[in-house]
Structure 1
Amino acid sequence: MSDPTRPVSTDPALERTEGERRALELVEANETGGRQLSGFPKRLVTLVALAWCGFQLYAAQVGTLDTLLLRATHLAFAFALAYLVFTPRKTPGRAQRGVPWFDWLLGAGAVGTAAYLMAQYPTIAGVQGGALNPTDVWVGSALIVLLLLAAWRTVGIAMPMVASVFILYALTGPRGLIRGDLGAQLQLHAGQTWPQVVGQLFANTEGIFGTAIGVSAQIVFLFVLFGAVFDKLGAGEWFMRVAQGLLGGFRGGPAKASVLSSALNGIISGSSVSNVVTGGHITIGTMKRVGYSAEKAGAIEVASSSNGQLMPPVMGAAAFIMANNLNIEYRTLILAAAVPAFLCYGALLVVTHIEALKLGLRGLPRSELPPVGATLRAGWYYLIPLAYLIGTLTLNPDATPERVALNTIFLMIGMMLVQEAWRGRREGRGLGRGLQRGGQQLVEAAESGARSMIGIAIATAAAGIIVGIVTITGLGFGLATIVETVSGAFRGLFTALGGLLPFVDPASVVTVGTMLVVLVMAQLIALILGMGLPTTANYILMSALIVPIIARLAGLDTSNPAQMLPVHMFVFYFGIMADSTPPVALAAFAAAAISGGNPVATGVQAFQYELRTALLAYMMFFNPSLLLIAGNRIGGLPWTEALPMIFFAFLGLVAFSAATLRYLHRRTNPVQTLALLVAALLLIAPTALVWNLVALALFAGVYFWQKAGSRDEPPGVAVA
């Protein structure tokens, strides 16, 4: 039995298997930079990371830095680290050693372009009246090119390719790219000149240095640093041990522990891939021990880790940008997002239980699990910063997210020094050695946080290119025309269907059916973009391009946050699903490296588990009450109305999960599967109580039918 009071391992690398090392290499290559450095370059990376952290803490402390100065400095630090630690080719296990000469030049040039803008912006905005001189155009052009190259390294080829297409569109106009009648419909401008494009993207706050990177610089960095310090403090490992102690002994307990620990880690982590590696090195092995296959064990970890981005307060960094887009308080958003997040994880716990029933599994022996009481007593103090952060964000209306995160970081710095000093004295190393170890851990946390921010900063800056182009070209109206034309082609089909269905208003069938076509198109776009983009960048693009289209076709008031929040959450949820969608599913590849399973099969299985997330996205769109929306107010829904909505939504998710897995107490026959699907579909949208009761009756009928049949068969006889 493991010791609940043991400190975090001082050298985790010694405990990792070959598969775990490959998974860690995948994370480094794709998220934090996989270049192997030593000597001066390594020390320089640490110094730059510490300087970046120091600047961000200073900026949050003073709170009065010029907007463009803050954003440009933020990007300059990201540029420096991007060219130092990321290689042009992301090949785990083949990390390039040392920094080649051309990366020194590219990095220096990129930092120089940002520094030039900081120095010249007062002249550009004041003396030149916003117009660019030839030198400004050349420097701006270099910044755009170097940003696209940095994005290629840090977030993949998809972002620079999409951004390049948008730039080409801005230069040529629609007629240059689209021919025929459709081109005539989309002819919104005659094309911009290159200096005009550079001016839009480089020299104002509506392009590269727009809202997205502003949120990254002002808020996201602090929360990522908070997560890095919190994890280095030892909270991540403690969460894992608590989850194991609580759930590991139940049927399929290791899988349920994986779900709970990923939910807890999701509170502080914004990355599904790093969440897989952080928890998967323990949970995947224990899942395999009790009988899950390598693919199923990896897929459960992928699904639970991907959904970590749904958990407030961080939500994969997209929550801050979403709150800004909706012009609502951050605390309002995280409270609204909490119910769907808990529903999603609750349904995933049911999925793991169904899989355990299918396989006839048991839990781990209690003798092999951490004792819950001793584990809680050993790390209860880890809850102090978390309670302060969440409590202050939700209860203090005057507290800003950045100020709360800053204070929490300072609190944890003090906790880390005290913790390591106490451990040093207890272990006989002395108080001074303990404080020295605490200082080293703070440096490691700062470097980890800064490296995790590189991709976010670069992605938000590159997304600013697309947003800036949409602003000057009006492209969104043209895309809306295309989507409206496609959805209109199905209107006749839904009209005929409405005439055939009894007890249903035909006009409602047409409206809902047409809207479903639009949502399915948005869903496919989000999944496709998500194969090559991180979640935050995916959300930024979808919010700029697709959200206004859905709002227009649904007749929503874009200035009303209560009407727009379900749309933003819809595209955000599908952006998260992309992390587990084959063929490009980095989380699945990381999990497969640990489990030893097939990565494609792991991704396919994880996608099946994630289908409940897709259903939940549709539920939120058609039933805004799940976001605690009442009328035109977010958070205005009384709990007497919310609780029944939550219950029926959870019932729908469970019914849908059982139908897609084709198993409840035992394998479902076609009639039972159809009944479960009908029950789930009836519960997508708020309907009359009678329809909710019909859905409940269908589910209960299948449940008791299955329960009666399971008495005649031993567990696991119908294993798929």
Structure 2
Amino acid sequence: MAELLHPEPGQAIPAADEFQEHGIQRKLGGYALKILIAAALTFSTYQLIVAAFHPLSSLVIRSLHVGFLLMITFLLYPAVKRSDLSRVAWYDWLLAGGAFVLSTYHWIFEGDLILRAGDPSTTDLVVGTIMVVMVFEAARRIMGMALPVICAAFLLYGLFGEYLPGSLAHRGFGFDQIVDQLFIGTEGIFGIPTMVSATYIFLFILFGAFLEHAGMIKLFNSVALGLVGHAQGGPAKVAVVSSGMMGTISGSGVANVLTVGQFTIPLMKRFGYSGVFAGAVEATASMGGQIMPPVMGAVAFIMAETLNVPYSEIVKAAIIPALLYYFTVFVMVHLEAGRLKLMGLPKDQCPSAWKAIKADWHLVLPLAALVFMLFHGFTPMFAGLTGLALTAILILGAAVSARISMQAFRYVFWVATGLAAATFLEFGIYPILGVIGFLCLCCFFIQGGHKTLQTMKSSLVDGAKQGLVVGVACAVVGVIIGVLTLTGAASSFAGFILTVGEKSLFISLVLTMLVCLVLGMGIPTIPNYIITSAIAAPALLQLDVPLIVSHMFVFYFGIMADLTPPVALAAFAAASISKDDPDKTGWKATQLAIAGYVVPFMAVYTPALMLQGDWTALGVVYVVFKALLAITLWSAAAVGFFWTPLKLIERIFVTVAAALLVVALPITDELGLGMSAAFFAWHFWQKRRLALA
């Protein structure tokens, strides 16, 4: 168990190949692997240069970003599942090289493209068509058919929508106008989502990869075990706490399942939880990572850019709902453990949380610096670059420091390194590059230094590979954004929601929720958010739902789709580890994640829950108290246990009480609070009576 709970820094995460979240990757060797690694390293290096120096125009940066994405995708993902996974097919070599060469088109002909804007040449149309087709093919290989089919439907609407009946029709656009919209400018595949992927998102993915290789997973697991491992239902609570902390640096729910779940799911099963419940707990806790600041599944960056608000405003709105989400899972786990009378791990088998923090406290510094800078007005790019640089210095510095025999000299070394790194804020990137370069040079001459450099290399390669899913999704969904912008089709659906909303805001919210869930069952969270925010969020805004709340609403239900059967990726990933039924796991996860379905509705009716609108500290405390109480009551009703088992009539009673606390109507709060007090008093008396019996 110790090996599973404490993977060494730089150690590969186990079993990630057993369940691929997105497509099937090749397992290459020989020269093909060397070329893939070189491409990934070049990609990461290019992104770091862009972040540090921004040497090219925005459109060129986006175009080269997409070129790298396509090149690595065609090398890593085969065209069909039955392909030989040990080699790259000849046509994929051509596609990979061709995609990157064509991505330089904007760089080489930047001036000419500006001069003939709106009037593309034949060459522009040919190159643009090929690039759009390649983006579709890359998306198909990584994410399956669902997202490309949806994007293709919008593309066909742009080409042939003029022949549709009534208000569905548009005025008609030529093929050259469509290609110009999707490829030449910044409204299509090189739109805002791709811009955010090429700047903020990639840096944060790389940041997470560096922290994982530095040993952050080991720290999270040790702290979680030390805090709650010995409590009632400890193994499941470890999964909740560890996955929540992992969510701060990882933007993928399925990746969380495949890392944290490797040891928490077997641990839960060992201590009496069923495979379905163990998988559901891990899936639910892991998906919550996408709403947990600061990374938030990378959607936060796109949302901030789309809404033109500071990133800190997005984080501020997300923090309370994220904590409520994890509180729900924690309470569910606690009550389930009480119902089954499941105990925790023996105290002597749990590590000390304090000792774990004391040993690896330095790993928290980059994350703390990142959060501090984001909340104090620094741009996400600068904050991400700083966090990444600090992590690199910690990894390299730890290797060099370990070879210094005298403790006093170690302190001098770290102080000097810290002072040199701190000049980054005053003198720019060059001092910190000097520190990193010096530490890398030292690693060539010390014992264990080559292993540290290998860790750095692995982090850069893994970061590039992890960025493929997000980057390709952002590029292909640009087709939808481009068509919507060109045709104005978003107003039709928005108008329908507005019409319904005039009679009932609640029905409009339910309709929007269903659209997000249906879309999310086939596509990842980021494109789901981009599509629904373009179509539905503006309508909610016109129904007087605050701006950030309306976008958070569609974002949250896009996430919940990954838990909702029949296509519940996180549940399927957890079931692959628990060796149990994935559908049952998905339905149980849906039950555990009740807050994910309720909190967005509460926020619409009470924006103070997301610190939006005219809120006061007292008002926020009151609405959070109501939410906590409602979640506790719902959890008791769902599990059928509180202090003692609940009868059917009691479960119905607490369900009604919880619903009254959520519904924002006159006297519903009073009725809900009164029923809650009555339930607690009755149940406390029942507990005392059974204890005395």
TM-score, L = length of structure 2: 0.90
TM-score w.r.t. structure 1 length? 0.86
Partners of 1:175 and 1:424 lie apart in 2 by: 73
What residue is the counterpart of 1:249 in the other structure? 230
SS, match of residue 561 in structure 2: helix
2:48 alignment partner in structure 1: 57
Q: How much has 1:533 moved relative to structure 2?
A: 1.1
Q: Structure 1: how far apart are the matches of 2:520 and 2:315?
A: 23
2:31 and 2:179 map into 1 onto residues whose CA distance is 36
1:425–1:431 Cα contact (<8 Å) kept: no
Give the aligned partner of residue 456 of structure 1: 470
Q: 2:75 maps to which residue?
A: 84
Counterpart of 2:446 in 1: which secondary structure? helix
Q: 1:453 to 1:619 in 2, by over 3 A?
A: same
State the 1:706 CA deviation: 2.9
Of 490, 505, 514, the residue aligned with 1:515 is 505
- For residues 486-501 of structure 1, the aligned pairs below 5 Å read 487=500
Q: Secondary structure at the match of 2:109?
A: helix
Q: Equivalent residue for 1:524?
A: 514
Identity, % of aligned pairs? 36
Q: Is the 8 A contact 1:623 1:684 kept in 2?
A: no
CA shift, 1:24, in A, is 3.5
Residue 336 of structure 1 contacts residue 628 of structure 1 at CA under 8 Å; is this kept in 2? yes
Residue aligning to 1:38: 29
> Would you say 1:476 and 2:467 are equivalent positions?
no
Distance 1:699 1:370, change over 3 A: same
Aligned residue in 2 for 1:411? 390
For 2:345, the aligned partner's letter is L
Matched, 1:221 2:235: no
Question: How far, CA to CA, are the matches of 1:627 and 1:657 in structure 2?
Answer: 22
Q: Structure 1: 5+ residue runs without aligned partners? A: 177-182, 489-509, 557-562, 632-636, 715-720
Distance 1:74 1:430 in 2: 31
Question: 1:4–1:371: 8 Å Cα contact kept in structure 2?
Answer: no
Q: Provide the C-alpha distance between the structure 2 equivalents of 1:255 and 1:423, rounded to a whole number of angstroms.
A: 36
In 2, distance between residues paired with 1:5 and 1:461?
37
Change (3 A) 1:174 1:364: farther
Matched residue type, 1:214 = M
Aligned counterparts, 1:202-281, within 5 A: 202-281=183-262
1:602 aligns with 2:585: yes
Distance 1:365 1:215, change over 3 A: same
Distance change >3 Å, CA 461–CA 285, structure 1 → 2: same
Mapped pair 1:573 → 2:547: no
The structural deviation recorded for 1:686 is: 4.8
CA drift of 1:478 comes to 1.7
Q: Contact conserved, 1:71 with 1:209, CA < 8 A, in 2?
A: yes
2-side partners of 1:705 and 1:175: how far apart?
66
Distance 1:286 1:711, change over 3 A: farther
Please state if 1:465 is matched with 2:474: no
Measured in 1, the distance between the counterparts of 2:589 and 2:279 equals 8
1:622 shift after superposition = 1.4
Letter in 2 for 1:25: E
Q: CA deviation at 1:463?
A: 0.9
Tell whether the 8 Å contact from 1:86 to 1:153 is kept in structure 2 after alignment: yes
- Shift in Å, 1:630: 3.2
* Number of positions where the alignment pairs a residue of Structure 1 with one of Structure 2: 654
Q: Deviations over 1:42-100 (max 9, x none)?
A: 11111111111111111111135311011011111101111011123458xx8711110
Q: 2:104 aligns with which of 91, 111, 115?
A: 115
| TM-superposed deviation, 1:262 | 0.8
Change (3 A) 1:431 1:377: farther
Corresponding residue number in structure 2 for 1:653? 631
Distance 1:99 1:712, change over 3 A: farther
In structure 2, the CA distance between the partners of 1:555 and 1:639, relative to structure 1 (3 Å rule), is closer
- Tell me how far 1:287 sits from its aligned partner: 0.9
The one-letter amino acid of 1:36's match is: K
CA distance in structure 1 between the partners assigned to 2:289 and 2:650 by the alignment: 32
1:496 corresponds in structure 2 to: none
Deviations 1:385-417, CA, capped at 9 Å, x for gaps: 1111111211x22x1111111011111111101
Given candidates 409, 414, 434, the residue that maps to 2:448 is 434
User: Whole-Å Cα distance in 2 between the matches of residues 654 and 346 of structure 1?
Assistant: 9
C-alpha distance in 1 between matches for 2:112 and 2:624: 56
Q: Map Cα deviations across residues 193-214 of structure 1 (whole Å, 9 max, x no partner).
A: 1111001101001111111111
Question: 1:159 aligned to 2:147?
Answer: yes
Q: Equivalent residue for 1:592?
A: 575
- Checking the alignment, whether the CA contact within 8 Å between 2:249 and 2:295 is kept in structure 1 is yes
Q: What is the CA distance between 1:675 and its match in structure 2?
A: 2.6
Question: Which residue is equivalent to 1:444?
Answer: 458
Question: Is 2:296 aligned against 1:325?
Answer: no
Instruction: Report what 1:492 is aligned to.
Output: none
AA in 2 matched with 1:661? V
2:538 aligned partner, one-letter code: P
Amino acid across the alignment from 1:469? V
The CA distance in 2 between the partners of 1:100 and 1:415, in whole Å, is 40
What is the aligned partner in structure 1 of residue 167 from structure 2?
A: 185
1:600-645 Cα shifts (integer Å, max 9, x gaps): 21111111112221001111111110111233xxxxx432332122
- Structure 2 distance, partners of 1:196, 1:454, is 29
Instruction: Look up the SS of the partner of 1:191 in the other structure.
Output: coil
Equivalent residue in structure 2 for 1:641, among 619, 628, 652? 619
Aligned 8 A contact 1:25 1:34 in 2: no
Alignment of 1:122-161 (within 5 A): 122-126=111-115, 128-161=116-149
Measure the CA separation in 2 of the matches of 1:84 and 1:430: 31
User: Helix, strand or coil for the counterpart of 1:630?
Assistant: coil
